[in-house]
Chain A
Amino acid sequence: MCILSTVDLTIGYLKKDKKKVVQSNLNLELYAGKLTGLIGPNGVGKSTLLRTLSGLQKPLGGKVLLENKELSKLSYQEKATKIALVLTDKIDILNATVYDIVSYGRYPYSNWLGNLTDKDHIYIEQAIQMVHLEEKRNELLNELSDGERQRVMIARALAQDTPVILLDEPTSFLDVSNRIEIMLLLHKLAHQTQKAILLSTHELDLALQAADSIWLMDKNGKTICGVPEDLVFNGSFARAFASKYYFFNEANGNFSMNFSLNKQVAVTGNKTRMYWTLRALARAGFEAKEEAPVKILVTEDGWILNDEKINSMEELLDKLTELEKLNLS
């Protein structure tokens, strides 16, 4: 079910009465129960789009529809019960525990004194459980790790009990294991709670694995939507991230660097070791070509070059350099 959509949306800034358009003609749809990844190079307008979708910033044109109602016509209070945010803003609150922060998510529902009812406590407790922070419930925010802090902010958004959650770069500043954990968590939350979750990121490989759907923004002001694999097959990623320094590797969903390859070798053999062998050879400037005079056979536990068994990559690269010197002299 589509919860949030945009109609011919133009996003950007007003600077001294001058419009600075970042993206235009956006027709996007966000679905319940799905994790959607907003991807694009830096400076392409991911944050601007998120701020516009959340109502923090006004669109320059077109409109945002939330459950078929125009977002700009809703009051702050109504918006707060529909859309929750996780931002990159640094939170530094003295003496605030995990429970305190998550309880701020109940703000739209509590009375003017901010007293929490039993129902509020249930929502807060559930949110804390969903991000697996039960043990840290009463610990101070300032004493948590970066990954845990991010989970606290996600729990706060969950406690806000909204059908839509928007996250701005939730995995930046985190190490690999925390990044993967957060992505898996968001994927699980979208499927379990039937919320529509949209996250912006520039981490392609993770988003390609975890997201059910991708909004791909490119530098030319175009945004393409679809299931990640479809965008891989139709070459959208390669176009969006086109550069002379690297290319989008469709074989593994990563970026590969463009080394200047001025030497050639022929490589055959074992599949798993082949991938790493080719990487090392590319770094040393070798291109794999079938008809090249120097031939390398990749085996289960090593390499064979000129009938000689070689056990390490280091040795192989040394041998290749020697051969090259011989050829030159």
Chain B
Amino acid sequence: MSKRQKNSLFFLLIFITLAFFVLDLAWGSIRIPFNEIFSILAGKGTNDIHTEIILNFRLPKAITAIIAGISLSIAGLMMQTLFRNPLADPYILGISSGASLGAAMVMMAASLFPAVFISSNWSLIIAAVIGASLVLLLVILASFKVHDVVSLLIVGIMFGTIASALVNIFQNLSNPDAVKLFIMWTFGSLSAVTWHHLLVLIPVFLIGMMIAIFLQKRLDVLLLGENYARSSGVSIQQTRFLIVLATGLLAGGITAFTGPIAFVGIAIPHVARGIFRTSSHKILIPACVLCGASLLMICDIISQIPAYSLPINTVSALFGAPVILWIILKRK
């Protein structure tokens, strides 16, 4: 694919992403015309109720959708490269379950932590990032022993199952209010995220993205496998640590606020590879950013068809699961 074709594809994707952003703001049970949305965004809104809906409800939700789409697909891309496994992603390898376990501990076993920690805005995200990173570390340790594609996925699923089992134990031991709060969280929701949360989420997301962008050259060589990467001058330990950190921040961070969202991480990198026909992370990272953001906004738009408000996790599974089936069938 020539440079010009790539550039025009990128412009098209940017346009699509912006279009879905506006559509996501306009969509909902209360109809707000496009021209009013633009004037509200420009700070010249006249209708107070509409201004409130856009600025404090739909805008943070749309931004969360963008961050969720980007975080999960970049985390998925890094997982697929690190494990050289087309089916790797934060959800399947149990990283989201690790984040859930962290979040569950904060929500349902608060007495285990010092009160200062629990009352802070950061407690949920810190617990989720640590939970995600820990599971990923365990999966990496297992990957030294298990080399084939499918076994590693089963290892990831097992770690995820253990994390879920621990979450179940917490549920059995906690009071009904905390359990209800947690169950609502696991459905995955973009609308629960407020500006307050975003102030915590955005810095975590940006640090994760900066590490991912810094790693793009190493990720390319890592495609050849660790021996070749090391012989090309890559420090494997350091790179692995940075990938764990970036994935923990990205996947753990977003999971802390939206609950686990399945299949975005696995599907988007394949969509990006399919569109740009490349293996270069310099192109795949921005492509995943645009495709991931668009997909999550589409999911968000579908999930709130008036009168049938669906959990976002259900909608994303409808998109993602067929992609996994397609990959498995194509490889045989």
A residues with a Cβ closer than 8 A to B are: 54-56, 75-77, 79-81, 83-85, 87, 89, 91-96, 100-101, 104-105, 107-108, 110, 112-114, 160
B residues with a Cβ closer than 8 A to A are: 84, 86, 214, 216-217, 220-221, 223-225, 227-228, 230-235, 273, 277-280, 282
Q: Which residues from chain A contact B230 at a C-beta distance below 8 Å?
A: 56, 76
The complex places the Cα of A92 from the Cα of B279 at a distance, in Å, of 11
Interface of B is mostly: loop
Interface of A is mostly: loop
Listed from nearest, the 8 A-B pairs whose CB atoms lie closest are A80-B233, A114-B217, A96-B279, A107-B232, A85-B231, A77-B233, A108-B233, A89-B225
Q: Which residues from chain B contact A56 at a C-beta distance below 8 Å?
A: 227, 230-231
The complex places the Cα of A95 from the Cα of B275 at a distance, in Å, of 11
Can you name the residue of chain A whose Cβ is closest to the Cβ of B327?
A94
The complex places the Cα of A96 from the Cα of B233 at a distance, in Å, of 21
State which of A77, A79, A81, A95 has its C-beta within 8 Å of the C-beta of B273. A95
State which of A87, A89, A94, A105 has its C-beta within 8 Å of the C-beta of B86. A94
State which of B214, B227, B234, B278 has its C-beta within 8 Å of the C-beta of A87. B227
State which of B217, B231, B279, B282 has its C-beta within 8 Å of the C-beta of A93. B279
Q: Which residues from chain A contact B228 at a C-beta distance below 8 Å?
A: 85, 87, 89, 104
Q: Contact between B217 and A113 (Cβ–Cβ < 8 Å)?
A: yes
User: Can you report 24 A-B residue pairs in the complex whose CB atoms are below 8 A from each other?
Assistant: A56-B231, A75-B233, A76-B233, A76-B235, A79-B231, A80-B233, A83-B231, A89-B227, A92-B84, A94-B86, A95-B273, A95-B279, A96-B223, A100-B280, A104-B221, A104-B232, A107-B217, A107-B221, A108-B232, A112-B214, A113-B216, A114-B216, A114-B217, A114-B282
Can you name the residue of chain B whose Cβ is closest to the Cβ of A78?
B233
Q: Which residues from chain A contact B234 at a C-beta distance below 8 Å?
A: 76, 107
Q: Which residues from chain B contact A160 at a C-beta distance below 8 Å?
A: 232
State which of A92, A94, A101, A112 has its C-beta within 8 Å of the C-beta of B217. A112
Given contacts A80-B231, A83-B231, A107-B220, 18 further A-B contacts (CB under 8 A): A55-B231, A79-B231, A85-B227, A87-B225, A89-B227, A91-B224, A92-B84, A93-B223, A94-B273, A100-B278, A100-B279, A100-B280, A104-B223, A104-B224, A104-B232, A107-B221, A107-B233, A108-B232
The complex places the Cα of A21 from the Cα of B9 at a distance, in Å, of 56
Q: Which residues from chain B contact A83 at a C-beta distance below 8 Å?
A: 231
The complex places the Cα of A93 from the Cα of B282 at a distance, in Å, of 15
Q: Contact between A104 and B279 (Cβ–Cβ < 8 Å)?
A: no
Can you name the residue of chain B whose Cβ is closest to the Cβ of A54?
B231
Q: Which residues from chain B contact A77 at a C-beta distance below 8 Å?
A: 233
The complex places the Cα of A40 from the Cα of B125 at a distance, in Å, of 57
The complex places the Cα of A91 from the Cα of B229 at a distance, in Å, of 12
Can you name the residue of chain A whose Cβ is closest to the Cβ of B214?
A112
Can you name the residue of chain A whose Cβ is closest to the Cβ of B149?
A92
